[in-house]
């Protein structure tokens, strides 16, 4: 909210602190000053002057050449305004002045005639939107004075960040009251009562509440015979300074009273109220209302309306209706001030996408005791600006009022919670300054009555905060708490992520962090089930319609981005750790949110070098990355050939851990490449379930004593059907030995092609045999080897060399 310091000082004349001091103290008390505008800053250099002569420009029909006297000398000024004339007192910006728009005036020739400055319009000085001609100052105005001073533009306007718990400071009066407490001054006084000269208001208007729980009070006042027109300039300027648009004197009066006292007000044209009556009631389902902003809303039974005998005339607490609006021809006015239920107003505002000065305050909670003062103040302002006769008395209806609140606080508890000594006197002193009334003691607690405007104070902690806040926390010691009893161990969940991150970074991957969304097109490209997708109800665009079902779409998008950015190099290695989202169980409270790691790599195996061939990455490079990730967890997995719609059939692999799918890996399917606009080197992808890895039993791996006896080494090469996998070969060999002497068996060569029978390949295996208790004899080794060969032959192998 914007607040004018000048206005505050009018309400609290005793406030003599400087703007800087006030700004500092407000911020320190929790009402953050987010910005300060010094009014008139844009008027620097602009002075009052007199037009002495004004003649037509010799060479341009619409321009005049004026001589302008600034009190010291005359200047030649070209002016295009139709109202420029001799004798006029004007706002003159001499050469060198920088106008609010940032434009600095220089001496220049306009159609052959030199101009030494500018006569300004209100719009050019950003005083208003009025661009109809230059400013016409009071004919008696002295020349040569700074315009800012003449116009009284020396106010300071604070931009305040008022937190939602403090509706009581959403007005100048409220701020003055808060500042009085901060600076220890007497609280400001309300405006004097207004005098009514007309007949009883109740004779010309009636008010009724049909929704008692949602409207605690509705008060009306009648003013007849007003003359609607523009407000005086100073009123308009004041409203503009605090961010309000002047409309007409009657409407401006409601806004002035709102900004002054914080209570929303509304003025109806009394003659446009059917039956001259007001009924506060729930809307009928489907009932329609056209609002002041021109929009038409279809209402629900949960909306509260102000209605006349026939129709809704306002959306309660949010906005008035167009059908009862005060207009140029309005003569008689019914003023409204009311107290509406905060959550009712908020629901209506949110449902219809409306947020107004009124709803902003109602939904936070207005001061129920302010209603009468606010409506009287507004009436007084209308009488002052628009004339008319105020009818006697207020027409009032009441609903369910909130009881007076009281709260207790134990000074010892305050001291404990804040962490510094707090005495009963300090508590009493501070809270009394803030308008609370000490009503007695209850055991070791002090009991206070909470003033009507502090809707945020109810609990002991609320009062403790007030004590802490007003004193400030600058002298609060910084104390390390005692270690206490809390458990202290490294969370394994995060550890797993750290291990994976370090492993991948070490292999040349950059870690990506992507927005965790996906587009429906991504789902389609991966062939994933849209029925399982987690849909964002209010996305920011197509790309955020879903929560990502997989880590891969953002990585593929990144591959595309980098392909476009680095057209000559497509070496990219990226990984990301995060959650993926799916409704695996449609009845579940929350969608499944599995942590996964996604890996994407393409391009060369090594960075380009002058002394080495940088071979292209292939699926086995990806496999090594996956293996390296699993190694740290001692995860024994199977790599099964798989049908995966988004992976190339030649390498699509399912990684299986303990019978469960841990993830997939392989080369991206050409159709997936195409869907993401990827061209050039193949893209290798892997995605693994991190939660499964985290769930693996962990602990230090068991040490295997180092061998003391020498091993025996044997190589074996053979032809075997391509259908037999490498993994099967190794398993067969291990099984054949039965854990007797074989220590390790590794495939060291695979060849197919020339010299190898069709549909077969040549595999060479290197085996190490060893016994823990004795040196193996040739016989031992040959025995094992024989069993191995036999088993391989049974698998269809033709042994070539043993």
Could you say whether residue 291 binds another protein (CB under 8 A)? no
Question: Closest approach of Cβ 30 to another protein, in Å?
Answer: 3
Residue list 16-45, contact with another protein (CB under 8 A): 27-30, 32
DSSP 608-624: -BTTB--PBP-HHHHHH
Structure tokens, 749: 């060569």
Which residue bears the tokens 């001499």? 94
Single residue of 153, 185, 573, 648 touching another protein by CB under 8 A: 573
Q: Under DSSP, is residue 327 helix (H, G, I), strand (E, B) or coil? A: coil
For 616, other C-beta atoms within 10 Å of its C-beta total 11
Give me the least distance between CB of 426 and another protein, in Å please.
15
Rg of the chain over Cα atoms, rounded to whole angstroms, equals 41
Binding mask 705-744 for another protein (x = CB under 8 A): ----------------------------------------
Looking at residue 474, the DSSP 8-state letter turns out to be T
Distance CA 410, CA 423 (A): 10
Distances (CA, A) of 25 to 21, 28, 355, 463, 464: 6, 5, 30, 19, 19
Could you give the C-alpha distances from 325 to 46, 267, 418, in angstroms and in order? 40, 7, 52
Smallest distance, another protein to C-beta of residue 172, A: 21
271 or 347: whose CB is closer to another protein? 347
Residue number with CB closer to another protein (154 or 461): 461
User: Among residue numbers 350 through 369, which ones bind another protein (CB under 8 A)?
Assistant: 350, 360, 363-364
Among 182, 259, 526, 574, binds another protein (CB under 8 A): 574
CB atoms within 10 A of CB 802: 13
Pairing of strands 637-641, 406-409: unpaired
* By CB under 8 A, residue 489 contacts another protein: yes
Q: Give CB contacts under 8 A, 24+ apart, made by 293-302.
A: 293/319, 294/322, 297/352, 300/351, 302/344, 302/347, 302/348, 302/351
Residue 675 phi, psi (nearest 5): -60, -35
* Least distance to another protein, CB of residue 292, Å: 22
CA atoms within 13 A on the CB side of 565: 8
Q: Among residues 326, 354, 572, 662, which is the contact residue for another protein, using CB under 8 A?
A: 572
CB of 232 to another protein, least distance (A): 34
Cβ proximity to another protein, 28 vs 656, nearer residue: 28
* 461 scored as a contact of another protein (CB under 8 A): yes
How far apart, in Å, are the Cα atoms of 294 and each of 289, 320, 710?
A: 10, 11, 94
C-alpha distances (whole Å) from 736 to each of 191, 636, 742, 785, 789 are 102, 20, 9, 9, 9
Comparing CB distances to another protein, the nearer of 458 and 727 is 458
Instruction: State the burial class of residue 415 (Cβ atoms within 10 Å of its Cβ: 0-12, 13-18, 19+).
Output: middle
Site residues for another protein, 48-107, by CB under 8 A, read none
C-beta of 11 vs 407, nearer to another protein: 407
CB nearer to another protein: pick between 136 and 592: 592
- Residue pair 106/118 in contact (Cβ under 8 Å)? The answer is no
Reading the block at residue 792, the tokens are 């391989």
**Cβ-Cβ contacts under 8 Å for 262 (sequence gap 6 or more):** 167, 168, 170, 171, 173, 174, 361, 366, 367, 370, 374
Choosing from 102, 140, 486, 778, the residue that interacts with another protein (CB under 8 A) is 486
Provide the minimum distance between the beta carbon of 29 and another protein in the complex, in angstroms, as a whole number.
6
Could you tell me which residues come within 8 angstroms of residue 573 by beta carbon, excluding any fewer than 6 positions away? 507, 508, 509, 510, 600, 601, 602, 603
Q: Which of 73, 109, 485, 650 binds another protein (CB under 8 A)?
A: 485
Query: Which residues have a Cβ under 8 Å from the Cβ of 597 and sit 6 or more positions away?
Result: 500, 504, 551, 575, 576, 577, 629, 687, 688, 690
Does 586 contact another protein by CB under 8 A? Answer: yes
- How many residues line the site for another protein (CB under 8 A)? 103
Shortest separation between residue 435's beta carbon and another protein, angstroms? 17
Under rule CB under 8 A, residue 558 binds another protein: yes
- When asked if residue 487 is in the footprint of another protein (CB under 8 A), the reply is yes
Asked if 628 interacts with another protein (CB under 8 A), we say no
**Given candidates 329, 443, 478, 705, which one binds another protein under the rule CB under 8 A?**
478
The answer to the question of residue 342 lying near another protein (CB under 8 A) is: yes
Residues 119, 137: Cα–Cα separation, whole Å: 12
Q: Please give the residues from 145 up to 184 whose contact with another protein meets the rule CB under 8 A.
A: 163-166
Q: Which CB atom, from 343 or from 423, has the smaller least distance to another protein?
A: 343
Site string for another protein, 683-702 (x = CB under 8 A): --------------------
Select 296 or 489, whichever has its Cβ closest to another protein. 489
Asked whether position 464 contacts another protein by CB under 8 A, the answer is: yes
- Residues of this chain, 179-198, that bind another protein according to CB under 8 A: none
490-519 residues in contact with another protein (CB under 8 A) are 490-491, 493-494, 498, 501, 504-517
Q: Least distance in Å: CB of 541 to another protein? A: 9
Of residues 106 and 608, the one with the C-beta less far from another protein: 608
Q: Report in angstroms how near the CB of residue 302 gets to another protein at its nearest.
A: 10
Site string for another protein, 400-419 (x = CB under 8 A): ----------------xxxx
- The answer to whether residue 544 forms part of the interface with another protein (CB under 8 A) is yes
Residue 536, interface with another protein (CB under 8 A)? yes
476 binds another protein (CB under 8 A): yes
The span of 51-59, 109-117, 236-244, 558-566 binding another protein (CB under 8 A) equals 558-566
- Please, which residue, 137 or 556, has the CB nearer to another protein? 556
Which residues does 483 contact at the CB level (< 8 Å), separation at least 6?
A: none
- We find the least distance from the C-beta atom of residue 120 to another protein, in angstroms, to be 30
Question: Based on CB atoms, which residue is closest to another protein, 15 or 534?
Answer: 534
Determine, following the binding rule CB under 8 A, whether residue 484 of this chain makes contact with another protein.
yes
Please state the closest distance from residue 6 (CB atom) to another protein, in A.
Answer: 23
Q: Residue 568 Cβ, how far from another protein at the closest point, in Å? A: 13
CB of 703 to another protein, least distance (A): 28
The per-residue DSSP string of 87-156 comes to T-EEEEEETTPBPTTSPBP--EEETTEEE-EEEPBTTTTTS-S--SSB----TTPPSS-BHHHHTT---E
Closest CA to 290 of 298, 279, 300, 282: 298
Q: Among 49-57, 539-547, 631-639, 655-663, which window interacts with another protein (CB under 8 A)?
A: 539-547
Task: Yes or no: say if 71 and 54 are a contact pair by the CB < 8 Å rule.
Answer: no
Shortest distance, CB of residue 558 to another protein, whole angstroms?
3
């Amino acid at each position: 909210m914007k607040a004018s310091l000048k206005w505050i000082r009018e309400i609290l004349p005793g406030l003599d602190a400087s703007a800087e001091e006030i700004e500092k103290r407000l911020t320190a008390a929790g009402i953050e000053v987010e910005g300060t505008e010094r009014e008139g800053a844009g008027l620097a250099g602009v002075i009052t002057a007199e037009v002495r002569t004004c003649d037509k420009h010799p060479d341009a029909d619409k321009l005049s050449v004026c001589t302008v006297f600034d009190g010291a000398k005359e200047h030649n000024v070209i002016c295009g305004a139709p109202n420029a004339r001799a004798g006029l007192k004007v706002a003159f910006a001499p050469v060198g002045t920088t106008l609010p728009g940032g434009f600095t005036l220089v001496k220049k020739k306009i159609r052959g005639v030199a101009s030494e400055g500018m006569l300004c319009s209100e719009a050019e000085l950003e005083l208003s939107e009025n661009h109809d001609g230059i400013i016409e100052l009071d004919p008696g105005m002295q020349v040569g004075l700074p315009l800012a001073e003449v116009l009284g533009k020396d106010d300071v306007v604070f931009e305040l960040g008022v937190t939602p718990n403090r509706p009581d400071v959403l007005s100048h009066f409220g701020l003055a009251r808060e500042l009085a407490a901060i600076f220890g001054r007497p609280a400001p006084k309300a405006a004097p009562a207004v005098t009514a000269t007309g007949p009883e208001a109740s004779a010309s208007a009636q008010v009724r509440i049909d929704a008692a729980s949602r409207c605690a009070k509705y008060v009306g006042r009648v003013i007849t015979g007003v003359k609607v027109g523009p407000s005086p300039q100073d009123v308009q300027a004041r409203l503009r300074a605090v961010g309000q648009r002047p409309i007409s004197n009657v409407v401006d009066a409601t806004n002035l009273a709102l900004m002054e006292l914080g209570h929303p007000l509304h003025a109806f044209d009394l003659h446009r109220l059917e039956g001259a009556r007001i009924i506060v009631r729930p809307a009928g389902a489907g009932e329609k209302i056209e609002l002041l902003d021109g929009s038409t809303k279809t209402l629900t039974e949960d909306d509260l309306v102000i209605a006349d005998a026939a129709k809704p005339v306002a959306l309660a607490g949010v906005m008035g209706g167009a059908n009862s609006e005060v207009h140029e021809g309005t003569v008689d006015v019914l003023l409204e001030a009311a107290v509406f239920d905060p959550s009712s107003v908020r629901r209506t505002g949110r449902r219809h996408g409306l947020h107004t000065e009124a709803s902003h305050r109602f939904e936070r909670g207005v001061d129920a005791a302010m209603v009468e003062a606010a409506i009287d103040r507004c009436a007084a302002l209308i009488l002052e600006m628009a004339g008319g006769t105020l009818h006697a008395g207020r027409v009032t209806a009441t609903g369910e009022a909130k009881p007076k609140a009281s709260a207790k606080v134990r000074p010892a508890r305050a001291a404990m919670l804040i962490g510094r000594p707090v005495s009963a006197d300090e508590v009493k002193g501070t809270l009394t300054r803030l308008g609370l009334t000490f009503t007695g003691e209850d055991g070791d607690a002090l009991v206070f009555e909470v003033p009507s405007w502090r809707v945020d104070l109810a609990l002991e902690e609320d009062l403790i905060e007030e004590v802490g806040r007003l004193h400030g926390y600058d002298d609060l010691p910084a104390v390390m708490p005692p270690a206490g009893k809390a458990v202290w161990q490294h969370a394994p969940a995060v550890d797993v992520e750290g291990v994976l991150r370090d492993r991948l970074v070490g292999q040349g991957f950059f870690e990506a962090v992507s927005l965790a969304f996906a587009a429906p097109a991504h789902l389609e490209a991966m062939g994933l089930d849209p029925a399982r997708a987690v849909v964002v109800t209010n996305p920011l665009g197509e790309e955020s319609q879903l929560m990502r079902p997989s880590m891969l779409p953002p990585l593929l998008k990144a591959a595309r981005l980098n392909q476009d950015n680095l057209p000559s190099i497509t070496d990219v290695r990226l990984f990301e750790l995060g959650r993926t989202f799916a409704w695996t169980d449609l009845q579940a409270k929350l969608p499944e949110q599995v942590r996964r790691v996604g890996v994407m790599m393409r391009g060369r195996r090594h960075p380009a070098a002058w002394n080495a061939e940088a071979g292209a990455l292939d699926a086995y490079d990806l496999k090594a990355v996956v293996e390296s990730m699993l190694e740290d967890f001692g995860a024994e997995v199977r790599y099964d050939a798989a049908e995966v719609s988004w992976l190339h059939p030649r390498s699509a692999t399912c990684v299986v851990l303990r019978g469960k799918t841990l993830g997939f890996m392989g080369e991206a399917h050409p159709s997936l490449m195409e869907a993401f606009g990827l061209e050039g080197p193949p893209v290798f992808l892997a995605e693994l379930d991190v939660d499964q890895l985290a769930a693996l039993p962990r602990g230090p791996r068991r040490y295997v004593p180092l061998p003391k006896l020498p091993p025996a080494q044997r190589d074996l090469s053979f032809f075997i059907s391509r259908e037999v996998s490498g993994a099967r070969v190794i398993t067969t060999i291990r099984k054949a030995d039965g854990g007797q002497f074989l220590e390790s068996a590794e495939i060291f060569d695979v060849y197919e092609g020339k010299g190898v029978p069709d549909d077969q390949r040549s595999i060479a295996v290197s085996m190490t045999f060893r016994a823990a208790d004795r040196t193996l004899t040739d016989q031992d080794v040959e025995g094992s080897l024989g069993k191995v060969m036999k088993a391989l032959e049974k698998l269809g192998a033709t042994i070539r060399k043993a």
